[in-house]
Chains A and B, each alone.
Chain A
Amino acid sequence: MTELEAFIKQDITDKQDTAESPSFRILHNGDSALTVIFDEQVSDGLSLKIIALRKVLKTIFSNKLTDIIPAYQSLTLIFNLDRCSKQDSTPNTLRKVINVQIAGLDTKSIERKSRIVKIPVCYHYDVAPDLESFCKFTKLTLKQVIELHTMPKYRVNMLGFLPGFFYLSGLDKKLYMPRKSTPSLNVEAGSVGIGNNQTGVYPVDSPGGWQIIGKTPTNLFEPTNSTDKFLVNPFDQVQFEPISLKEFTKLVEGDNDSSQKQDAK
């Protein structure tokens, strides 16, 4: 009997099982997915809990899941219905599993593995089309914008939207600016943007509505079969480091040189 089957067979009659547990809710997300929503404010503690729980559920449900997606306050399990019995993918089964697992989550190892990833950013009008209007809107000087944006260690709460795009928390309130009312058709890879209370980097060329205030020469998404190549993982921290236009150009050219050398092999 697998661990999951043991949970399904468990005849838990206490009220926890019939009433929604106070700390989380489980909702259907279409007929092939369930989303666990935690009724807590976004915090490092909550992110830790979600990422640790993700790891445990991934093991327990194993090949019955196709994907399991962490977000700020939720965890979404997508089931491979061809491999699931009727019981495997019900909110009831998932609730039983979480109720048992949630107390003993190993958050320490995730904290230990968390890295601080430094990303060089050039804050210059030549590479940041919205920098001028951003300074005007926020009534800050360029120097202040750079200081406020490079000061915090931002927490990576989740990845999504585009391959390698990370959602960060910790942006200074003075840097809040709404998204553009009409998104730009093409934002270049490496562009560093701000949209309302969020900041992030476009890993690949894409349409986008954020205000672009800088650009990094670092390649955030290299398609390769090894997922270790992802620069940033959930619960890592990101810090932006200011570089000059000259350094930026040098780094971009250096990158091109090395990729040309690889091509030549």
Chain B
Amino acid sequence: MSLTFLKPGLQTSIQDLGRSGKMHLGINQSGAMDSLSLKLANWLVGNSLNSPCLEITLMGPTIKFKVSTSIAVCGAEFDIYHNGDLVFNDETIQVCKGDILEFDKLRSGARAYLAIAGKLKCEKLFGSYSTHLMANFGGYQGRQIKTGDKIKVKDPRLIDVKILDKQLKLKYLGNYLIRFTDSIESNFFDSDAFHQFASNEYKISADSNRMGLRLVGQPISTRKSEQIMSSGLVPGTIQIPSSGLPIIAGVDGQTIGGYPRIGSVISADLPLLGQLKANDKIKWQYIEMNSARKFLSHKTEMIQALLK
């Protein structure tokens, strides 16, 4: 009982919700760039929400199933063919032994999450199945999927079809408003620079990945005289290096950062970062700390209620 990859896709890797408690050893969180879509896909197949899934990036794989089980795809929208027939995101799909699932043209977003009812046989390290792509551990042999790779599935099962509530079906239109709040060095920028950052429109650079999203647009001026001491860096932090072009830290970002931080994407909007791709446009909206936390708790409550 296994999945065999006839085509690997651009960057397909096993991810769950990531690791915690090891950042002081330089081990970053890894995990799904879009944690929400991973949870939703797991819910559709009756897995626990933190189960490892396949994270599929920009170009999808072709997979041969040697197992009968339920699967689901959430997040980025691809044209997905199941034995040649179109199937869709956000609902349970039943596959049988010998079936072929092909991810074709990408329609929207950047990363899709494929959940499989059952347990993917992969390596758990430091409390997570996530693949650490840089240090090569966890997941499937510590690396992204290659042609011919075979992942075993334990306890596969066919479950009743579930469909996501409309409110949870997200559309990725390539044009986003992202909310941010204060970070350590927000005061390091004068009001002109801050205002410039908040009112600029940026494009996502092709030079972006799970470590960081690079933005293209008007550079932000930093006060050069002040020295920045390196300190703990969290995913979503917006750093301004000497070029003045912002970089948003991703889940594979460094655990320690040394560039001035103008702000930080609010937790409620972090999953969206996983769906940004080259040439997408973003604008920023500043949010007070208290409101940022309220947005998160509302979102968490809403999702919990809909996933009952």
Contact size range, A = 35 or more
A–B pairs, 11, beta carbons within 8 Å: A28-B181, A28-B184, A29-B183, A30-B266, A31-B292, A31-B296, A33-B234, A42-B229, A73-B231, A159-B25, A160-B232
Q: Which are the 3 A-B pairs with shortest beta-carbon distances?
A: A76-B232, A30-B264, A160-B256
Chain B positions 245 through 274: 1 when the CB is less than 8 Å from some CB of chain A, otherwise 0: 000000000111000010111110000000
Q: B81: CB under 8 A from chain A?
A: no
The distance in angstroms between the C-alpha atoms of A163 and B254, with both chains bound, is 9
The distance in angstroms between the C-alpha atoms of A75 and B24, with both chains bound, is 10
From B60-68, B130-138, B157-165, B189-197, the one touching the partner chain is B130-138
Indicate if the CB atoms of B22 and A227 lie closer than 8 Å: yes
Indicate if the CB atoms of A163 and B264 lie closer than 8 Å: no
Q: A81: CB under 8 A from chain B?
A: yes
| CB nearest to B295 among chain A residues | A31
The distance in angstroms between the C-alpha atoms of A54 and B289, with both chains bound, is 24
Indicate if the CB atoms of B231 and A78 lie closer than 8 Å: no
Within 8 A of B (CB), among A186-212: 203-204, 206
Chain A positions 8 through 41: 1 when the CB is less than 8 Å from some CB of chain B, otherwise 0: 0000000000000000000111111101010000
Q: Hey, which bits of chain A sit against chain B, CB under 8 A?
A: 27-33, 35, 37, 42, 54, 66-76, 78, 80-82, 86, 158-167, 203-204, 206, 221, 223-225, 227, 230, 234
The distance in angstroms between the C-alpha atoms of A256 and B236, with both chains bound, is 40
Within 8 A of A (CB), among B81-138: 125-126, 132, 134-138
Q: B142: CB under 8 A from chain A?
A: yes
Number of interface residues of B (CB under 8 A): 43
The distance in angstroms between the C-alpha atoms of A27 and B21, with both chains bound, is 21
The distance in angstroms between the C-alpha atoms of A28 and B286, with both chains bound, is 14
Q: B20: CB under 8 A from chain A?
A: yes
Indicate if the CB atoms of B21 and A67 lie closer than 8 Å: yes
Q: B151: CB under 8 A from chain A?
A: no
What residues of B have a CB within 8 angstroms of the CB of A76 in the complex?
A: 231-232, 234
Q: B293: CB under 8 A from chain A?
A: yes
Q: B216: CB under 8 A from chain A?
A: no
| CB nearest to A233 among chain B residues | B25
Indicate if the CB atoms of B136 and A31 lie closer than 8 Å: no
Indicate if the CB atoms of A30 and B265 lie closer than 8 Å: yes
What residues of B have a CB within 8 angstroms of the CB of A35 in the complex?
A: 184, 231-232
What residues of B have a CB within 8 angstroms of the CB of A42 in the complex?
A: 229
The distance in angstroms between the C-alpha atoms of A237 and B184, with both chains bound, is 29
Indicate if the CB atoms of B182 and A230 lie closer than 8 Å: no
The distance in angstroms between the C-alpha atoms of A27 and B237, with both chains bound, is 14
